[in-house]
Structure 1
Amino acid sequence: MENRVVITGMGIYSCLGITLDEVKESLYHGKSGIIFNPERKDFGYRSGLTGYVPKPDLKAYLNRRQRISMGEESEYAYMATIQAFENAGITQEFLDEHEVGILYGNDSVSQAVIEATDIVREKKDTTLMGSGAIFKSMNSTVTMNLSTIFKLRGINMTVSAACASGSHSLGLAYMMIKNKMQDIVVCGGAQETNQYGMASFDGLGVFSVREEDPAGASRPFDSGRDGLIPSGGAATLIVESLESARKRGAPVIAEILGYGFSSNGGHISTPNVTGPSTAMRRSLENAGLRASDIDYINAHATSTPIGDANEAKAIYEIFGGDVPVSSTKSMTGHECWMAGASEIVYSLLMMQHSFIAPNINLENPDEDAKNINLIVETKNQNIDVFLSNSFGFGGTNSALIVSKFKN
């Protein structure tokens, strides 16, 4: 018998709020977390738009030795993870006595690398970078920091899969737990929000320049969309076997039923229809469900012209035009490496409180978007099963299916 895989805890640190309650309220009321940041314009960005995420102060939580190894994305991930552990009823004593793993999505570290390199350029002395520089500048910085802070002794690996990183971390944990290789895995995704992290994206001309209206700039599926908006933070989910959860008397938030994945096998940045549809179809097959069993789809849609259109085509190909769809990126912007995890948290909050968050700023759907059931105002509706899409550069695709827990 394969294990059933459940979610027992979640935590969030995002531009919509830094607690689950704050984020739920933002989602319900369609509140945007996007601002205009003049410092980005001074730095040389085409677009000064970004999601605003407050910088946490970890002095009350961690000693100096622990903090000097942590960059911005690790700080966000730490804040989300202590929330998730508390939500799951997991103490440090429990972590000390049980094998718990970590699979976390992260696909870049910019600020730490640039700052350390600048010191060497100026001082001509590598020893002045500081002892924490190497640990802050590696792609695996989040997992190496969290695993040592919390003394985790299970699987310990960073998932780097572009904007599907957070989603794939959950999918891989689901597979490991289902096949009895781990009992509990800390999953999630983190994304730095400093000006260094997204400069190369801005250079591609993919960001919205609707700077006069920050809250209205992210417009997934709208015919007037002119690009995405960078954002970030972190989201953590505690993924566990049902047997483990029952043994420790844990609250069960939801059950992961299916994971689908694919690669487009084409252009490095331009998405297609076949790859996303393959991932969604595979997730349904893996879950043993039909398209009609899905109550809500949290779309990947980032507010780019080609990406949104192709996802709408893929959704229509499999689900037709009935299932409710929205992109929470209309409020958050694109949270990149964390998005696949945060959008599971957002969808779980909707499931818990029986509503579908709106796809804000959708005034005139494009021709492909008109074929699917896009929700433009908050809809009070029961959600038993949802699907969440995450796609990324290089053609990586992930689709997760999550349901309310049923004994």
Structure 2
Amino acid sequence: MPCICSRSCSISTFPVHSISYDSRFLRTPNSKPSSIHCSVGVAEPKVAATAEPLLLNAVRGINVERPPVWLMRQAGRYMKSYQQICEKYPSFRERSENVNLVVEISLQPWKVFKPDGVILFSDILTPLSGMNIPFDIVKGKGPIIFNPPRTLSDVDQVREFVPEESVPYVGEALTILRKEVKDEAAVLGFVGAPFTLASYVIEGGSSKHFTKIKRLAFSEPKVLHSLLQKFATSMANYVKYQADNGAQAVQIFDSWATELSPADFEEFSLPYLKQIVGSVKQTHPDLPLILYASGSGGLLERLPLTGVDVVSLDWTVDMAEGRSRLGHDVAVQGNVDPGVLFGSREFITGRIMDTVKKAGKGKHILNLGHGIVVGTPEENVAHFFEVAKGIRY
């Protein structure tokens, strides 16, 4: 078999290593074993001195034999076992606020695919009820905010989030997950970023044009800043709470920050992300923080300014170019197009190998550039994990 990723990597300022692929995962009944070897460029990593999960070692720049792998929206959506739970428990909030269901759903992909990261089954809007912002998540419609705050008086009614009081089930679920997974994989928590949470809250739900929050930002910025500050303080506390209860890394989703211009990102998102990271690092300096913002190509150089340990790229950014633009001090995550999982096994393999080659050795978490799409064949997800776990630097 010829090398699937034969193009030379554009990052050329680091020593050259080779990537090999365990061909057992590519065999068909009539095929002979084969291998893939591709060159990549990276800085020399440190040597592992602990038995911590592969994902944590990779983020910290410790020598690893392959890139760790997990998938966004890994728990649920595409798995038949999850769909069966949905039939029995149709309310998303019931599924995500019941300890036993959260643990069961979070472990479904772990039991089948053994990813290197096991992420908590939850939602970024979960804290809203504890902040006196009533909401629901309705099948076919998405999130609905019942009384969107639009004035300073409304924002004054928003409480700062106290996770141990409002979402004790999150802490309980993370503790159980940590015991179940042990150190065979990293347990991942996540939170929503202030601007993205504010977008949902001000818009009253999902939005296409973000007219309401931009009107507020540009006509009454004090109101928005007041709300963003409450979210920043609350999400910093939520990250710490998750870490204290078993999360070994936490991903921050700022999905809608990329609806902002660079100048507006620097006013309405960046300062609050910095605040969260700074607060968390004071008490949990070794906790890896991952930042994901879909469509982030126009803001890429600004994302490391937040102080996060990992920047997760969506698939619209070339991985080699993303590495070059971010700099090699920050780890990267991603960034295979979720649509690739609808392709043939050979096609999926090629895209994985191309991404890994461009990311280079070390400080890379293999992932999709967004969440798994509903209807993705489970057998293709299985192949994705088989290929990923068969890679050797």
Structure 1-normalised TM-score? 0.28
Q: Quick check: which one's helix share is greater?
A: 2
Structure 2-normalised TM-score? 0.29
